[in-house]
Structure 1
Amino acid sequence: MISLTTELFETPAIQQLAITDDTLTVDLSDGRTISVPLAWYPRLQHGSTEDWS
C-alpha cells in the first residue's frame, strides 16, 4: 500500500513591496523576488499612488 504525505510549508512573509508604472514587485523573507506586470491588476494599474498606500 502506498500512502501520500503532505508536508506543511511556512508561508514566507513580505519584506518589501514596490509598485512602478508597469510592475508589482514583492521581496519575500525566503529570499525570492516575485515581479508581475501591473496590467494583471487593473485596479492597481488605474489607481493613484495615494490608493496604493
Structure 2
Amino acid sequence: MTSLEFETEEMRPVKAWCTKGEVHVTLADGRTISAPLWWYPFLSGLDEDGLNDIELMYEGIWWSQADEGISVKSMFLGQKMPGAKEPERAA
C-alpha cells in the first residue's frame, strides 16, 4: 500500500480534540481514532487551550502553538514520535 492509497477522502480529519490523556480525531467516514498524548512529546508543554487549538489538514492535524503536527496515517499505524516515553504508573 502506498501513501497515496492510504490517504483517501474518507480518512480526512473533520474534527480533532484532546482530553486529559488522549488526542482524538474524527474522520470524514465517521470513524474516530485516538492515541495517548504521551506519544507526542511536543504537546507536553501546552495547556488545555493550546492542546485544543488544532488545525485540520488533509492528511492530519497541526498545533500552531507547538509548530508541530501528526498524520492520521501515523495514528493508525501506532507510530509514536521519537523520544516518546510512557509515563510511570502509580503503584
Q: TM-score range, shorter-chain basis? A: 0.5 to 0.7
Q: Matched residues in 1 for 2:29 and 2:39: separation?
A: 24
Between 1 and 2, higher relative CO (CA 8 Å, sep ≥ 6) is seen in 2
| TM-score normalised by structure 2 residue count | 0.43
Partner of 2:20 in structure 1?
21
TM-score, length-normalised on structure 1?
0.66
Between structures 1 and 2, the one with greater helix share: 2
Q: How many residues align?
A: 48
- 1:45 CA drift (Å): 2.6
- The answer for the alignment partner of 2:43 in structure 1 is 44
Give a deviation string over 1:1-53, Cα, whole Å, max 9, x none.
xxxxx8x4524221110111210000000121110000001111321234332
Q: Which runs of 5+ in 2 are unaligned?
A: 54-91
RMSD: 2.3
Gapped regions of structure 1 (runs ≥ 5): 1-5
